[in-house]
Structure 1
Amino acid sequence: MISEYRHWEETHCFLLNGKKRSLLIDTGLGICDISEEVKKLTDKPVTAVATHIHWDHIGGHKHYPDFYAHEAELDWLSGGFPLTMDTIRGMVVDRCALPEGYDVGTYEFFQGMPTRIVEDNDVIDIGGRAIEILHTPGHSPGHMCFWEKERGYLFTGDLAYKDMLFAYYPSTDPEAYLKSLEKISVLPAKRVFPAHHSLDMSPEILIRMRDAFRHLKQEEKLHHGSGTFHYGDWAVWL
């Protein structure tokens, strides 16, 4: 796990080491060079794959020409991201202890062509470890969770973490969010690894999130603009 605790989003990236190669799930903001940390943890070839194409998850992709992405977000990697650079830079600098001398005006949103386009239920074999891709839209159209069945490890990206879940952007889909929670909540997960904030997440929170989204749907509140809803150790902004 490689974390960025000096930024308010507290993004976590996860390096999975196999016998043949390593898989880096998310690459952070890109302000600092994540590859320098990765080199301390593996001497194998590294493939990067992002849970989704947001700036705080693909910032270090520039160090990894071998990266995978979901088809639904390819446009975001070639100039089609729906936010301006000024907006993105504002979020990068917000509540962040930037390195001394760093100029946020130089910050860029990573662009590039993946070496592989992945889909739901594809498997990434890194040698002795098989990682299944689960297409879980809601937070973003091409969002993916990663399931390592043998170990019971579930990497949930921005679909599920403690604190405020974001489902209010125009590019989010609250109805799809519920379907994705339905999908992952039935997995026999032993450990859940979120992309942000507290790492103290037990699998039961996925069931609570699913049930809360079900209730919002029943009350006809599962749509943009319905408000912010708090559930103790997590919340959702619709």
Structure 2
Amino acid sequence: MECTLFYTELSRGIYRISDSLHGPNSDGFSDAPGRATQNSYLIQGQERAALIDLAVDTPDLFSYACQLTGLPTQVLLTHGHPDHVYNLESVGEAWLHPDDYDLVLKGIPGICFPIHNVVLNPLKDRQKIDLGERILEVIHMPGHTLGSVLFWDKLSGFLFSGDSCSRRLLYGLTPTVPLDEHCKKIAGLAELPINHIYTAHDRCGLPKAHLLRSCELIRQELPKSATTVIIPGIGIMRNLRWGDENTLDYFDMAVEESYVEGLLK
């Protein structure tokens, strides 16, 4: 089946770019909660645009995004996992937190190969990215990876979280911070006037309440869970699956065991 890229304008100058092969249900164009999807976000300012994550697995993604606005477009990466840097070599340049440089430049043994011939520019906590009458703020959120970041658009009230504040969370694939430290950072986001949270693997926008709810589940329910899951290339991880995948309240987390033990200390 042919991959069809399409966009949805979420707010003025903000576009979610998805593909029809990875729909949440049998409708490849649906934005309902459901199965994991692939999504990048294009943020348009007056002078330039930013594409958040190369998270749709097609070589046409970057050119498609550039054609939507006709503006100079830079690639901002929420983190360095392989499903967020598809075809990065052909783009040639991206912005990423330095703590994740090695994930891209050296790869992850047993999971992905290094990416060569790419220029990585640093992102830092509280950095402002001026697109022209629209500013994205970088929020460093170590957890999913050490260099994970969020992008906050005050103009729309949208938080673009990659995999950090999502309905599905993989934790401890590579060394990272303790879960309690991660939860404290997540809870601190509640001070922002967030309208919606947009993630790389769901088309539906998540409510602000998801932040504190996910932290409560991690602290209260994860240590009780006796369920494990085998992640290809990684091994056995502790798993918490809460709720129905077809609802916004769903939460599915796979965690390397030592991070769960750290919660109990």
TM-score, with structure 1 as normaliser: 0.78
Are the counterparts in 2 of residues 28 and 56 from structure 1 also a CA contact under 8 Å? yes
How far, CA to CA, are the matches of 2:96 and 2:237 in structure 1?
31
Give the Cα–Cα distance (whole angstroms) in 2 for the partners of residues 78 and 109 of structure 1. 5
Alignment correspondent of 1:35: 62
1:227: which partner in 2? 238
Q: Is the 8 A contact 1:21 1:126 kept in 2?
A: yes
Q: Which runs of 4+ in 1 moved over 6 A?
A: none
SS in 1 for 2:92: coil
2:4 alignment partner in structure 1: none
How many Å apart are 1:200 and its aligned residue?
3.9
1:216 offset after TM fit, Å?
A: 5.4
Q: Note closer, same or farther for the CA distance 1:32–1:199 as it changes in structure 2 (3 Å cut).
A: same
Give percent identity, aligned residues only: 24
Distance 1:187 1:5, change over 3 A: farther
- Asked if 2 retains the 8 angstrom alpha-carbon contact of 1:229 and 1:237, the reply is yes
Residue 231 of structure 1 and its aligned partner are, at CA, apart by 2.7
Which of the residues 166, 169, 186 maps onto 1:165?
A: 169
Cα distance in structure 1, aligned partners of 2:170 and 2:92:
29
CA shift in 2, pair 1:28/1:110, >3 Å = farther
Structure 2 residue 52 is the aligned partner of structure 1 residue 25: yes
Which 5+ residue runs of structure 2 have no aligned equivalent?
Answer: 1-15, 23-34, 229-235, 244-249, 256-265
Unaligned 5+ runs, structure 1: 89-107
What is the CA–CA distance in structure 2 between the aligned matches of 1:66 and 1:226, rounded to whole Å? 34
Residue 115 of structure 1: CA displacement?
A: 5.2
Q: Whole-Å Cα distance in 2 between the matches of residues 180 and 111 of structure 1?
A: 33
- Does the 8 A contact of 1:47 with 1:64 survive in 2? no
- What's the CA shift for 1:181? 1.5
Q: CA deviation at 1:76?
A: 2.2
Query: CA 1:159/1:202 → structure 2, altered by over 3 Å: closer, same or farther?
Result: same
Partner of 1:3: 18
Q: Please give the alpha-carbon distance, in whole angstroms, between the structure 1 residues aligned to 2:84 and 2:127.
A: 20
1:184 aligns with 2:189: yes
| 1:59-208 pair list within 5 angstroms | 59-79=86-106, 81-84=107-110, 87-88=111-112, 110-114=115-119, 116-162=121-167, 164-173=168-177, 174-208=179-213
Deviation at 1:201, TM superposition (A): 1.6
Partner of 2:253: 236
Q: Is the 8 A contact 1:55 1:110 kept in 2?
A: no
Query: Cα distance, 1:64 vs. partner?
Result: 3.0
Shift of 1:135: 0.5
1:204-235 deviations in whole A, cap 9, x for unaligned? 11121122233358x698xx977222332112
Pairing partner for 1:58 from 62, 85, 91: 85
Post-superposition Cα deviations, 1:56-114, rounded to whole Å, max 9, x if no partner, equal 111133343342111101222322x2233xx44xxxxxxxxxxxxxxxxxxx6533554
Structure-to-structure mapping, 1:203-222, within 5 angstroms: 203-215=208-220
| Cα distance, 1:187 vs structure 2 | 1.9
Q: Cα RMSD over matched residues?
A: 2.6
- The question of whether the paired residues in 2 share the 8 Å contact of 1:58 and 1:110 is answered with no
Pair 1:56–1:41, CA change in 2 (3 A): same
